[in-house]
Amino acid sequence: MERAEQVAHETESWATDSLSLKGWKSNQSVLDRLVAETGGDRLTSSVHVPDERGVGLLATVEVMMVGLASEGWLAGDEAYYEICVRFDVRRETSGPREIAPVPVDCPHGVLDTRAPQ
């Protein structure tokens, strides 16, 4: 989950470019960037408010991310694990887009489709 929070934080600063004079980046492009930066597999995605100037919940994307963790305190063994995360893209009445990661249950069977590491 720490990696998901890092991705959300890094992508959020990029998504706020929509308020600059460089032009508006679409909500879909924010979702695409989130998936690319997680290095994960896109499970679902939806743009709820296609207007980049919209407010409220603008878009969501669910990603299955793969991470690496140590099996024990002194053990040199590392194991791969999967986590499914939904990224919510929102905007308040004024201000930049905000991106928040939320852990979700992986859809049934989705982990079985992935090749073992």
3-state secondary structure string across the chain: CHHHHHHHHHHHHHHHHHHCCCCCCCHHHHHHHHHHHHCCEEEEEEECCCCCCCCEEEEEEEEEEEEEEECCCCCCCEEEEEEEEEEEEEECCCCCCEEEEEEECCCCCCHHHCCCC
Tens of pLDDT, residue by residue, the chain (117 residues): 888 999 998 888 878 765 554 556 789 989 999 999 999 999 999 999 988 788 999 999 999 987 766 666 655 666 777 889 999 999 888 778 899 999 999 887 766 655 444
Q: Where are the domains of the chain?
A: 2-113
The reported pTM is 0.80
State residue 95's pLDDT score. 78
